[in-house]
């Protein structure tokens, strides 16, 4: 990127009353968390993704899906926020009320770096929820689940599943609405570490651009939404964000 373009973007961020940031799998990959596709190696390489990330796949073989997510959860717990996560956390502390952070990632690295109010489009891999809505009155409490692969309610037999958005499921409507509202109303939008191939998150850059927002993409390689940005920064989040967001 040209030095004058970097200087202009940094100046726009410094002057912004509202900064929108969308992060994707590339951001977490820098902390050693495998992307969804990369996680399907070794023991899991012969499975179709829909077998491991769908309600149908879970119902067909709950133990197999639970074990795969247990492995991914362990990877998340072992990972640490990288310099990009820390730069966003520092920016939010330094300029309260300016940053709206939206993530496609299901890990908790943004939260551990200080962005506890991150809008999570695809859920939380460390969170558990019931597979089915409990038909009992009062409803069974999650604490009633008995340990297992997966845990199961001793009263009604309901299974526990990971609290992530699976193939064929809708994204949380409140999270989507909040993300779209922030993208439309911000002064500057940074799209970080995403291929731009997963919708509806991929549409947030063009939504911002249509509303007159200055859009910048941070990614080491080309993405499907590069044309939506005024500026494209070729680099990783850990490389680009610290100097870009520094005071």
DSSP state of 26: H
Whole-number Å distance between alpha carbons of 33 and 122 = 16
Annotated catalytic sites, by residue?
A: 122
Long-range contacts of 220-225 (CB under 8 A, 24+ apart): 220/26, 223/191, 223/194, 223/195, 223/196, 223/197, 224/195, 224/196, 224/197, 225/191, 225/194, 225/196
For the chain, first and last CA: distance in Å? 20
Nearest to 59 by CA among 143, 144, 133, 150: 150
Q: How many CA atoms lie within 13 A of 176 on its CB side?
A: 11
What is the per-residue DSSP string for 87-155?
HHHHHHHHSTTTEEEEE---SSHHHHTT-TT-EESSEEEEEEEESS---SSSPPPGGGEESSSS-EETT
Whole-number Å distance between alpha carbons of 246 and 225 = 26
């Amino acid at each position: 990127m040209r030095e004058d373009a970097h200087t202009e973007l940094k100046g726009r961020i410094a002057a912004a009353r509202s900064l929108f940031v969308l992060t994707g799998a590339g951001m977490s990959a820098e902390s050693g968390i495998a992307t969804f596709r990369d996680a399907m190696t070794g023991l899991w390489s012969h499975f179709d993704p829909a077998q491991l990330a769908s309600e149908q796949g879970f119902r067909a073989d709950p133990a197999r899906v639970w074990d795969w997510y247990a492995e991914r959860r362990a990877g998340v717990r072992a990972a640490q926020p990288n310099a990009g996560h820390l730069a966003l956390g520092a920016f939010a502390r330094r300029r309260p009320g300016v940053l709206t952070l939206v993530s496609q990632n299901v890990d908790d690295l943004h939260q551990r770096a200080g962005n506890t109010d991150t809008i999570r489009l695809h859920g939380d891999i460390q969170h558990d929820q019931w597979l089915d809505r409990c038909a009992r009155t009062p409803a069974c409490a999650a604490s009633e689940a008995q340990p297992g692969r997966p845990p199961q309610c001793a009263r009604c037999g309901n299974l526990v599943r990971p609290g992530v958005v699976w193939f064929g499921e809708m994204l949380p409507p409140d999270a989507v609405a909040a993300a779209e509202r922030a993208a439309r109303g911000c002064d500057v939008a940074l799209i970080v570490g995403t291929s731009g191939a997963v919708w509806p998150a991929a549409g947030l850059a063009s939504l911002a651009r249509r509303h007159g927002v200055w859009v910048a993409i941070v990614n080491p390689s080309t993405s499907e939404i590069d044309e939506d940005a005024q500026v494209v920064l070729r680099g990783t989040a850990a490389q680009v964000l610290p100097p870009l967001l520094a005071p």
